[in-house]
Amino acid sequence: MAIHPRITGGRRQGPLPLKRALLAAITFAVAVSVLCLLSLTDTLSFTDTLTFLGFTPRDVDKREGNRKYLYWGTRIDCPGKHCGSCAGLGHQESSLRCALEEALFLDRILVMPSKMCLSSVHNTKGILHSSNATSKPRWETGSCAMDSLYDLDLMSRTVPVILDNPRSWYEIISRSTKLGEAGVVDVQGVSRVELKENPNYSSALLINRTASPLAWFMECKDRTKRSSVMLPYTFLPTMATKKLRDAANKHRSILFSASKFLYFLQMKEILGDYDAIHVRRGDLLKNRKDRFGVERSLHPHLDRDTRPEFIKKRIARWIQPGRTLFIASNERTPGFFSPLSDRYRLAYSSNFSSILDPIIENNYQLFMVERLIMQGARTFVKTMKEFDKDIALCDNPKKNTKDWQKPVYTDD
């Protein structure tokens, strides 16, 4: 997209023939508009535009005094428990999505926990630096700020949310207390249809709902068709903070100074045209011994199917040799997937440590970036099937909590 020096101010040798001049003018105009477009989309997001206009979506509550609130509690999925025993990101997201859907259904602003618990089993370091895998140091532990994972302004364009941090939250609490009975109702085990239709609930400024102490997503288990407002599974993954999105996505920062362009390549750009596999091992490979001392597993073929020799056989039908293959995995053994390198150009998050190191503080953030990469793959192979259209490494059903079977390692 170089701009011809003759047009940008180089010395002209006499008038150009009309046709060439016209062509040059058009080329220049196109180049300029493309540049404007690029720099606009880069630097001015929708929310920036709103900020520029003097308000942000998060101020919704202040601008519209009539908005009402829905509160589910201070922690997702671990009421009263220590953060260390909380569920992984996927479970917590199912739960958060359930609460967000209820807020959509009730047309209320969801008051979200300001922190997300980081489960210790899902937060060992060593993914970005495979050479240090054996030392298993941990990332920051306990919890992380919700807005270090999600872009709340972006989320608020679909479901308005605020955090239960002191600034906004205390204001709402004090407003609801002043209102007395119309201010806040505490409910437990009331259906969302009831919450919407019974004026005793629907008129309250704040519905304080005690969600299932086991897991918030239990509240979505047996909702009726009519009352459910489905947010797609991809909703929360795509709501990653701008910092995380920018690391993953094709994104160009253009510095325009004296006809000089600087491109900062991001992960998808470096990967080019690529495929991806998500190989869940560690946490899912839990075996236990039955009373005869025989190993049993909930996913008897998983250990076998997530080994490189079996992966190679399985994905051959979907992914051509020579392709770039991005591998997201919680497997920590250095070089575990190397046998695949005779057929594919392998890439991991660790190949991008110069991009990721400065911004990643825990595995949840890292996984959010990896999910964006996996979403952008031409062919994506999951560990186990979740939906009909999925392709997967292992045919064992993902949801199995009871049927412990003998692990299978042979080519059955």
Ligand X SMILES: *[C@@H]1O[C@H](CO)[C@@H](O)[C@H](O)[C@H]1NC(C)=O
| Contacting positions for ligand X (CB under 6 A) | 71, 129, 131-132, 173, 184, 186, 198, 200, 208, 210, 345-348, 350-351
- Provide, rounded to whole angstroms, the least separation between the CB of residue 71 and ligand X: 6
The whole-angstrom separation of Cα 233 and Cα 236 is: 7
- Provide, rounded to whole angstroms, the least separation between the CB of residue 16 and ligand X: 46
For ligand X, the closer of residues 33 and 135 by Cβ is 135
For ligand X, the closer of residues 89 and 111 by Cβ is 111
- Provide, rounded to whole angstroms, the least separation between the CB of residue 126 and ligand X: 9
For ligand X, the closer of residues 73 and 300 by Cβ is 73
The total number of residues written for the chain in this structure: 412
Which runs of consecutive H residues, i.e. helices, occur in 85-234? 89-106, 152-156, 166-178, 192-197, 199-202
For ligand X, the closer of residues 334 and 407 by Cβ is 334
- Provide, rounded to whole angstroms, the least separation between the CB of residue 188 and ligand X: 7
Q: Would you state the torsion angle of the CA atoms of residues 294, 295, 296, 300, taken in this order, to the nearest 10 degrees?
A: -120
Look at residues 45, 68, 234, 38 and name the one whose alpha carbon lies nearest to residue 153: 45
For ligand X, the closer of residues 208 and 306 by Cβ is 208
Strand-pairing partners, residue 143, are 117
Which amino acid, residue 115?
K
For ligand X, the closer of residues 87 and 133 by Cβ is 133
For ligand X, the closer of residues 235 and 348 by Cβ is 348
DSSP per residue, 88-126: -HHHHHHHHHHHHHHHHHHT-EEEE-SEEEE-GGG-B--
- Provide, rounded to whole angstroms, the least separation between the CB of residue 51 and ligand X: 29
Burial of 333 by CB count in 10 Å (0-12 exposed, 13-18 middle, 19+ buried)? exposed
- Provide, rounded to whole angstroms, the least separation between the CB of residue 334 and ligand X: 8
C-beta of residue 161 within 8 angstroms of C-beta of residue 146: no
What is the crossing angle of helices 363-375 and 89-106, to 10°?
Answer: 70
The whole-angstrom separation of Cα 110 and Cα 100 is: 7
Quick one: tokens of 410? 């042979």
Q: What is the dihedral sign for C-alpha 14, 19, 22, 28?
A: negative
For ligand X, the closer of residues 276 and 284 by Cβ is 276
- Provide, rounded to whole angstroms, the least separation between the CB of residue 235 and ligand X: 26
- Provide, rounded to whole angstroms, the least separation between the CB of residue 283 and ligand X: 23
For ligand X, the closer of residues 132 and 158 by Cβ is 132
Which amino acid, residue 299?
H
**Chain mean position to CA 285:** 24
- Provide, rounded to whole angstroms, the least separation between the CB of residue 176 and ligand X: 8
